[in-house]
């Protein structure tokens, strides 16, 4: 079976940026930066992440860059039979951690085509990128996603 690679026109880029000293997203804060609410009608696959960091002062600190999914769904075993109410709060997952990201670093992460099934997000998930700004840095982030319906079966 041939490996499918999406054409650039099939990739949906999403963008966010942070001012001096501002951290990226936080999976527990729905108002935080670097949180991408995915369409409830479409499943997406992560194709790439690009990021850049710039120091406003002479600080050069780094921090872990964590890719998470904020899922508002519950596994069937965690749903009450009466009324279909969740027995616990929604669950979140840490998918991957890039260590020591910050000034003088850039993020150039690309999922390999044979790994696309592992980078697929369900309808309505929130893709969250956590990075606690260690110093007085500005940052910009681009995330490329592709509609999974475009992938061959």
pLDDT in tens, 102-112: 877 789 999 99
The domain 12-150 is placed in CATH, from the list 3.40.50, 1.10.3470, 2.60.120, 1.10.287, at 2.60.120
The 10s digit of each residue's pLDDT in 45-70 is: 999 999 999 888 776 788 999 999 88
Q: Flag whether pLDDT at 119 surpasses 50.
A: yes
Measure Cα distances from 139 to 43, 83, 106, 148 in Å: 27, 45, 10, 29
Confidence of residue 87 (pLDDT cuts 50, 70, 90): very low
- The residue ranges of every structural domain in the chain are 12-150
- CA terminus-to-terminus distance, the chain: 10
pLDDT for position 29: 81
Asked whether the predicted pLDDT for residue 80 surpasses 60, the reply is: no
């Amino acid at each position: 079976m041939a490996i499918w690679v999406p054409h650039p026109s099939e990739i949906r880029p999403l963008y966010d940026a942070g001012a001096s000293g501002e951290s990226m997203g936080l999976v527990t804060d729905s108002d935080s930066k670097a949180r991408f609410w995915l369409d409830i009608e479409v499943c997406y696959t992560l194709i790439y992440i690009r990021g850049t960091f710039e120091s406003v002062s002479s600080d050069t600190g780094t921090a872990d860059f964590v890719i998470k999914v904020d899922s508002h769904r519950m596994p069937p075993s965690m749903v009450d039979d009466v009324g279909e109410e969740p027995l616990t709060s929604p669950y979140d997952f840490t998918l991957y951690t890039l260590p020591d990201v910050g000034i003088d670093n850039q993020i150039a992460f690309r999922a390999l085509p044979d790994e696309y099934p592992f980078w697929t997000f369900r309808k309505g998930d929130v893709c969250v990128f956590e990075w606690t700004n260690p110093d007085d840095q500005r940052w910009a982030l681009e995330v490329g996603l592709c509609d999974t319906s475009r992938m061959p079966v």
